[in-house]
A and B are shown apart, each in its own frame.
Chain A
Amino acid sequence: MIRKALGKLNIAIALTLAVVMTGGLGGATYVLASSTSNFTQTINAGTLAVDIVDASYVTVGSPTMAMTAATFSFTCQTITGSFGTASQQIYVKNPDAADAGWVVSLAASAPTAVWNSVGTDFDFNEAGSAGCVDDGATTDADAFGGQMTVNPSAGTLAVGQCTSCVVTNVSKGSSAAFVETTTNSITVLTGAALSDDIGDWKLTGVSISQKIPKEQPAASDYNINMVLTITAS
C-alpha cells in the first residue's frame, strides 16, 4: 500500500520536475498570477527582398564584383568575373509576399549608362561588332563600344536558411548581353507560382563578361551603377 503510494508520488514529482525543466529550457514564461490581461503581439508584414549577404546571411554593406585584370590592348578584349560568391551571395527572400511568383533581374541604373571614367568611358550595352565597336545606331545614344554579358545559368542555386525549402520551380535565367533599348534587363532568377511561398534562396557564380574596346585608355576609376530588382509578378 505504502509502496504504491510512494510510486504514485514518484510519478507526480517527476512530472512536475519535467514540466518545470522543459519550460525553463524552452524559454517559456509561466504567469502564475497577474492583475493585468493585456497581451499584445505585433508581427510586421514580410516583404519580398533581394540582397547580397555573407555566409551568415548578414547584408554586405558594399558588395563588390571582382573581374579579371585588363591591360591596355590594341585589340578588343574580354574580361570576366563572377557575381555572387560564398561570402557575397545573391540572396532572395519570399516571406509569403509573392505566392504567384517573382523575378530577380539585373539592369543598369539607366540604359544610357556607361563605364564611367574621368578619361574615356566605355559602354555596357553596345551591340555593334560583337560589342567591341560602336555601330552608330540611333538606338544607342552614346558613341562607345563595350558590352556586358550576364550568364546566370552558370551559377549555383541553393536554398538559404529555410531547411525545408526546395529549389524546385526556381529557375536561373539564360545567358544574355545588354543591348540598349532591346535588352535593358537580364533575368537572373525566376520563381514560379509553385515555388515555395515562404522560402529563401541563394545564388552564386553568375558569370559576367565585359567586352572592352580596343585601345581603351588604362584607368583605375571605371565605374557603373547596376540595380538588382526583385519583382512580384
Chain B
Amino acid sequence: MEYLRVKKLKARLVGISVMSVLTFALLGVSAPLARAIEYGGFGGRPAFPRADNPRTESIFVHTLNPGDVQEEGVLTVNNSAERKTMLVYSVDSTPSTGGAFACEQLSETKDDVGAWITLEKSEVTLEPGTNELVPFTIAVPTNASVGEHNGCIIIQEKKEQKGEQAGMSLSFRTGLRVAITIPGELERKLEIVGFTVTKRDDGSFLLQPKVKNLGNVSIDADAQVITRYFFGLTHFTHGGQYPILRGDTSDWNFELKKPFWGGWYRSNFIVEYDKNPEAGVGVKSGKELTRLEGPSVWFWSFPTPAALAIEIVILLALAFGGFLFWLSQKRKRWIKENWVSYEVKSGEDIKSLAERFDVSWKLLARVNKLKPPYALKTGEKIKVPPAK
C-alpha cells in the first residue's frame, strides 16, 4: 500500500516536472525577444517637428521670404554614460565629395544660412541621459536670392586642449541640415552626366552613376542601378533616395559583389524625381515623377570556381546528350537509307525476323511503327536491315 502511494507520488512529481518544463519552454519561446539597444553618443534633433512634413523630424525645413524671422529650436541630447559639454553652433553647408551634403567647419566664414542663424546658447553641459532645448532664430536677409539655401546646426563635444600631440587627432560632431527655401521661380531639373562600371581586384564591381542638379533647389532623387543577366533577368538592384544639392553633381559608389554564375551582365542607371514646383524638401507633389534613363553598360565577369565546376558539369552533360542525339539521328538516317523492303512469309513473326536479320525485335518494331502485339500478316511489307 505504502509502495503504491510512493509510486503515485513519484508519477505525479514527474508529471508536474514535465508539464512545467514544457510550459516554461512554450512561454519562453513566445515571450517577445526584446533586447536592449544602447543608443549612446551625443547630438541633437529638431525640437519642433511639423506634422505636415516628416522630414522635419530630422532636419530643419522652412520656406521663408526675404526679411522673415523664424523661431526654431534644437534639442541637444547626451545619451553617453558621462557628463558632456557640447558646443552648439551654426555653419554654412558645403558639398562633400560625390555631391553629398556636408557642413563647413567652425573656423570658416559664414555667409549663407550659417550667418542667418542666431543661437541662444553656444554651449550646453548635459548629464548622462538628459537633453536641453537650445532656441535659435533664422533671420533671412532682405537680399536673399530665390532658391534653396542650406546650412547646419552643429553639436560638437568641447574637448580640453591636451597640448600638441603628434599624429592625426580626431573630433566628432553631429550636424543637422537647415534647408531654407526663398520662394520665387524655383527650378527642379536633373541630368544624368555619367555611369561607369569598374572591375576591382577582388572580382567585384563598382557601379558609379553621376547626376547633376541644374536647378536652384535640392532634389530628392530616387537613383537606381539595375544589373541584369545576359538574358534580361534582374540580378541585383542598387540605389535609394538621395538629396542632390543645387548646382552639385552627385555620384554614388554601389558595390556589386562578384556574380556567382559569371558571364555577360548589363547595368542600367535610372533616376526618378519630382519635377513639379509644388514639391520641396520632404514634400511630394503627388504628381507623376520624371524618369531619366542613363546608358546601359555591359561587362564580363568570370564565374566563381563553384559556378565554373557546375557549369562544366552541365556543359559536359549537354555535350554528351547532344552526342547521343547526333548518334541516334545518324542511325535513323542510315536505317532510312539502307534498310530494304521485305515481304513477310507464312510462319514468320517479328521474333523470327529479328533473329534472321540479326537485329533487336524492338528496333524492328520501332522502325516499322508496329504496335503491340506486333503481329505480322503474310505478304505484309516491312523494312529490314540489308543482307550481310
A binds B: yes
B131 A44 Cβ-Cβ under 8 A: yes
B199, chain A: closest CB distance, angstroms: 13
Partner pick for A193 among B105, B170, B241, CB 8 A cutoff? B241
- Give the most central of A6, A14, A116: most B CB within 10 Å: A14
Q: How far is the CA of A112 from the CA of B22 in the complex (A)?
A: 69
In the complex, whether A41 has a CB less than 8 A from a CB of chain B is no
Residues of B contacting A109 in the complex (Cβ-Cβ under 8 angstroms): 105-107, 171
A47 B167 Cβ-Cβ under 8 A: no
A105 B100 Cβ-Cβ under 8 A: yes
In the complex, whether B174 has a CB less than 8 A from a CB of chain A is yes
Q: How far is the CA of A171 from the CA of B171 in the complex (A)?
A: 22
B168, chain A: closest CB distance, angstroms: 5
Residues of A contacting B175 in the complex (Cβ-Cβ under 8 angstroms): 229-232
| A to B contact number (C-beta, < 8 Å) | 250
Residues of B contacting A72 in the complex (Cβ-Cβ under 8 angstroms): none
Contact indicator per residue, chain A 14-43, by CB within 8 Å of chain B (1) or not (0) = 110111011001100000000000000000
In the complex, whether A131 has a CB less than 8 A from a CB of chain B is no
Partner pick for B97 among A112, A169, A183, A198, CB 8 A cutoff? A183
Q: How far is the CA of A229 from the CA of B108 in the complex (A)?
A: 15
Residues of B contacting A226 in the complex (Cβ-Cβ under 8 angstroms): 168-171
A49 B96 Cβ-Cβ under 8 A: no
A95, chain B: closest CB distance, angstroms: 4
Q: How far is the CA of A173 from the CA of B165 in the complex (A)?
A: 28
Residues of B contacting A120 in the complex (Cβ-Cβ under 8 angstroms): none
Residues of B contacting A186 in the complex (Cβ-Cβ under 8 angstroms): 96-97
In the complex, whether B79 has a CB less than 8 A from a CB of chain A is yes
Partner pick for B31 among A7, A26, A95, CB 8 A cutoff? A26
In the complex, whether A227 has a CB less than 8 A from a CB of chain B is yes
In the complex, whether B378 has a CB less than 8 A from a CB of chain A is no
CB nearest to B97 among chain A residues: A176
In the complex, whether B240 has a CB less than 8 A from a CB of chain A is yes
B166 A97 Cβ-Cβ under 8 A: no
Partner pick for A107 among B23, B102, B167, CB 8 A cutoff? B102
B16 A222 Cβ-Cβ under 8 A: no
Given contacts A63-B170, A233-B177, contact A116 B12 (CB under 8 A): no
A45 B171 Cβ-Cβ under 8 A: no
B15 A10 Cβ-Cβ under 8 A: yes
Q: How far is the CA of A192 from the CA of B40 in the complex (A)?
A: 22
A148, chain B: closest CB distance, angstroms: 9
A228 B105 Cβ-Cβ under 8 A: no
Q: How far is the CA of A193 from the CA of B58 in the complex (A)?
A: 12
Q: Which 5 A-B pairs have the closest CB atoms?
A: A192-B240, A49-B41, A14-B19, A47-B43, A193-B241
**Would you list 5 pairs from A and B whose C-beta atoms are within 8 A, ordered by A residue?**
A13-B19, A14-B19, A173-B96, A190-B100, A231-B102
Q: A110-B107, A169-B239, A190-B98 are in contact. List 18 more A-B contacts (CB 8 A).
A: A14-B16, A18-B27, A48-B174, A93-B39, A100-B241, A101-B240, A109-B105, A109-B106, A162-B37, A171-B252, A171-B255, A185-B95, A185-B102, A193-B241, A227-B170, A228-B171, A230-B172, A230-B173
Q: Using a CB–CB distance below 8 Å, which chain A residues touch chain B?
A: 6-7, 10-11, 13-15, 17-19, 21-22, 25-26, 44-52, 57, 59, 63-65, 93, 95, 97-101, 103, 105, 107-112, 116, 153, 161-162, 169, 171-174, 176, 183-187, 190, 192-195, 198, 220-233
